[in-house]
Amino acid sequence: NKDAMESVRLWDWRPLKQTYKQLQELKQYYFFNDVDVDRYIIDGKKIAVNLSARELSIDGLGGNAQTWQNRHLIYTHGYGAVMSRVDRISSEGLPVFMIQDIPPKSDVGIKIDRPEVYYGEHKNSYAITNTSIQPGEFDYPSGDENKYTTYAGTGGIKLDSFFKRLLTAVAFGDVNLLISGNISSESRVLFRRNIVEIAQTYVPFLELDDDPYLVISEGKLYWIIDAYTQSDQFPYSTPISAGGKTLNYIRNSVKIVIDAYNGRISCYISDSSDPIIKAYAKIFPNLFKELKDVPEGLKSHLRYPETIFNIQSHMLLKYHMTNPNVFYNNEDLWAIPTQIYGSSEEPVHSYYLVTTLPNEKRSEFILILPFTPYKKNNMMSFLTAKCDMPDYGQLQLYQLPKDKLNYGPMQIEARINQDPEISKQLTLWSQKGTNVIRGNMLAIPIKESIIYIEPLYLKAETSEMPELKKVIVAFSDKIVMENDLPTAIEKLFFGSGFATDAEKSDTRGMSLKSMADRASFHFSKAEEYMRAGNWKGYGEELESLKNILNQMKSQGN
């Protein structure tokens, strides 16, 4: 499953957020609220990425800078975003950025022409733009100087009358709005700048997902929020507790899109079969649009939400049983497996990845979660949800063969602890005062089997920046730990790793298929060395690839 191996989410959002903070916040008044997972077409291939908006945190200004003018007239917006591949690691154990810095620099052709973030996840107070304050509205830092701008959007309210200024002064309890000489008839007051507050005000009858995510489309930044209709009154339906509420009916009926520059909101009906949203659409005929009206640049980034997927997964633990007697006696209950994260045991979370599912021909962006038998640790099955059009929303349950042992996540965790080489290294790091963070255990489907991948992050006691230093890969009865995924895969399946040139190119006794697989790994490794600027490693891998191709040619003849 080459597609899956090229988009394995080695970077978990929790340590990655800390790393983004140290490397890319750049100034004390910038802030990364969250790290999202999405997919983009890069060089003709669908690639999974992490990305985050660089938002403004006005409280980050120094004490003397906390003036009314700075808080409301000068520092008004965040700037740009960062993006990195989920599967790439630099030689220093850091993410490989595709978009970074200020102004945003892109290595992959994804441009951000409108990088200003006036509306985001972070809660900032109101801002007043288009004022006469000098030197102007702060845009971004550039070396020893600052760049300034004038807002050209349509967000907020234009303060073109005394009455409007009076009302806003009363609304915000701030007399400066009324008396400031910097405010003119061309000024605009931007308020309610938190995207969740915008959506709650616009569609208060919908329940909002707690994980809005950023999308870069046609040079602009957008936020997408999943919204739900729900009830606890649906007949003959088992209730479940979710988000502090008890419900027995939920539909992801609406996709909300908010422009990060203008704050403009659009609501698209994503489940036209839902009777509740049908009723709301008749009550408010101009409020909702059809899903087909979503711009193509945004439609390709719609995700099946984890919230509803997790609810469906929990219901499936019991309701996968179709035999009445088996169901009544709870003979085949399933469970959500657990894993080691950091140093603590926790449930496995559903996760997004790009992969080619069994019996499918194309790579897809999916959401996946494995299952184990109740009070047992071996893997039984996994549920997937497709995110790409035209198959968006299709759920598929895959059951593994029952005639052989399929290791579950905690069984792999136990084998990691019992492996002499790995456990020795983990102990050595701990004795040196290094904090070892065991990342998410990822179960990747490979035909009728599962390959497990777990990243290891190291963080010094004096540092706030985790570094991804090792990758553990397990398949069947084999388990290995290497510096990166291609090397670990090579060692797992071919046994030798990248020890010597002779070993690298020795393909005696191998089938053409195995030789082709090995050639593919050498090519992937060469690409990685090229991106990292390691030209010695790049040349060695190309030489190994050349030797294998020559031997394949000889064997074919």
532 shares its domain with 416 = no
Chain position carrying tokens 């008890």: 246
User: What is the rounded CA–CA span in Å between residue 106 and residue 261?
Assistant: 20
pLDDT bin (cut points 50, 70, 90) of residue 536 is low
Instruction: Give the least confident one: 2-6, 52-56, 182-186, 443-447.
Output: 2-6
Does residue 521 belong to any structural domain of this protein?
yes
pLDDT higher for 534 or 426? 426
377 shares its domain with 462 = yes
Average pLDDT over residues 358-362: 86
For the cut 80, the answer to whether the pLDDT of residue 501 exceeds it is no
513 shares its domain with 551 = yes
pLDDT bin (cut points 50, 70, 90) of residue 524 is confident
Sequence-distant (6+) residues with CB within 8 A of 332 are: 320, 321, 326, 373
For the cut 50, the answer to whether the pLDDT of residue 329 exceeds it is yes
pLDDT digits (tens, 9 = 90+) for 103-140: 999 999 999 999 999 999 998 899 999 999 999 999 99
Average pLDDT over residues 200-209: 98
**386 in Cβ contact with 360 (< 8 Å):** no
Average pLDDT over residues 334-348: 94
Q: What is the pLDDT of residue 463?
A: 83
Q: What is the pLDDT of residue 505?
A: 45
The dihedrals phi and psi of 463, each to the nearest 5 degrees, come to: -120, 150
What DSSP designation does 109 have?
A: S
Helix 512-532 and helix 535-556, axial crossing angle in degrees, nearest 10: 160
Q: What is the pTM of this model?
A: 0.88
User: What is the rounded CA–CA span in Å between residue 153 and residue 151?
Assistant: 6
User: What is the rounded CA–CA span in Å between residue 187 and residue 159?
Assistant: 6
Amino acid in position 314: H
pLDDT bin (cut points 50, 70, 90) of residue 3 is low
Sequence-distant (6+) residues with CB within 8 A of 27 are: 60, 141
295 shares its domain with 431 = no
pLDDT bin (cut points 50, 70, 90) of residue 525 is confident
Q: Which of residues 252, 268, 303 is at a domain's end?
A: 303
Element spanning 160, H or E: none
pLDDT bin (cut points 50, 70, 90) of residue 1 is low
Q: Following CA atoms 374, 379, 381, 384 in sequence, which dihedral angle do they give, to the nearest 10 degrees? A: 110
Average pLDDT over residues 163-188: 96
For the cut 80, the answer to whether the pLDDT of residue 511 exceeds it is no
Does residue 486 belong to any structural domain of this protein?
no
User: What is the rounded CA–CA span in Å between residue 477 and residue 450?
Assistant: 12
Q: Which of residues 277, 303, 329 is at a domain's end?
A: 303
Average pLDDT over residues 335-345: 93
Does residue 500 belong to any structural domain of this protein?
yes
In total, the chain counts a number of residues equal to 557
372 shares its domain with 330 = yes
pLDDT bin (cut points 50, 70, 90) of residue 504 is very low
Instruction: Give the least confident one: 247-251, 341-345, 498-502, 548-552.
Output: 498-502
Does residue 407 belong to any structural domain of this protein?
yes
Sequence-distant (6+) residues with CB within 8 A of 308 are: 226, 228, 250, 251, 252
Average pLDDT over residues 230-247: 92
401 shares its domain with 432 = yes
Can you list the pairs that 523-530 forms with residues at least 24 positions away whose Cβ atoms lie under 8 Å?
524/5, 524/6, 524/486, 525/486, 525/487, 525/490, 525/498, 528/88, 528/484, 528/486
Average pLDDT over residues 358-378: 93
Q: DSSP 3-state assignment of 193?
A: coil
The dihedrals phi and psi of 277, each to the nearest 5 degrees, come to: -70, -30
The DSSP secondary structure of 269-299, one letter per residue, reads: ES-TT-HHHHHHHHHSTTTEEEGGGS-HHHH
Provide the sign of the torsion angle of the four alpha carbons 416, 418, 420, 424, taken in this order: positive
pLDDT bin (cut points 50, 70, 90) of residue 407 is very high
Report the domain count for the chain: 3
Taking Cα atoms as reference points, which of 19, 7, 94 lies closest to residue 485?
Answer: 7
pLDDT digits (tens, 9 = 90+) for 431-462: 888 899 999 999 998 877 789 999 999 998 88
Q: What is the pLDDT of residue 462?
A: 82
Does residue 480 belong to any structural domain of this protein?
no
Does residue 371 belong to any structural domain of this protein?
yes
User: What is the rounded CA–CA span in Å between residue 267 and residue 294?
Assistant: 9
Chain position carrying tokens 């403009």: 264
User: What is the average pLDDT value for the chain, to the nearest integer?
Assistant: 91
403 shares its domain with 457 = yes
Does residue 217 belong to any structural domain of this protein?
yes
517 shares its domain with 457 = no
For the cut 50, the answer to whether the pLDDT of residue 507 exceeds it is no
Q: What is the pLDDT of residue 508?
A: 46
Percent residues over pLDDT 90 in the chain: 75
525 shares its domain with 457 = no
Percent residues over pLDDT 70 in the chain: 94
Q: Which of residues 475, 508, 542 is at a domain's end?
A: 475
For the cut 80, the answer to whether the pLDDT of residue 309 exceeds it is yes
- Domain of 467 in residue numbering reads as 314-475
448 shares its domain with 381 = yes
Q: What is the pLDDT of residue 461?
A: 82
The DSSP secondary structure of 113-145, one letter per residue, reads: SB-EESSBSS----EEES---SS-EEEEEETTE
Does residue 405 belong to any structural domain of this protein?
yes
328 shares its domain with 436 = yes
User: What is the rounded CA–CA span in Å between residue 519 and residue 505?
Assistant: 9
What stretches of 7-161 show up as alpha helix (H) in DSSP? 13-24, 68-69
Residue 293 exposure: Cα atoms within 13 Å on the Cβ side = 11
User: What is the rounded CA–CA span in Å between residue 145 and residue 138?
Assistant: 11
User: What is the rounded CA–CA span in Å between residue 122 and residue 31?
Assistant: 8
334 shares its domain with 471 = yes
Q: DSSP 3-state assignment of 43?
A: coil
51 Rama sector, left if φ>0, alpha if ψ -120 to 50, beta otherwise: beta
Average pLDDT over residues 25-45: 95
For the cut 60, the answer to whether the pLDDT of residue 497 exceeds it is no
pLDDT bin (cut points 50, 70, 90) of residue 60 is very high
Average pLDDT over residues 250-273: 98
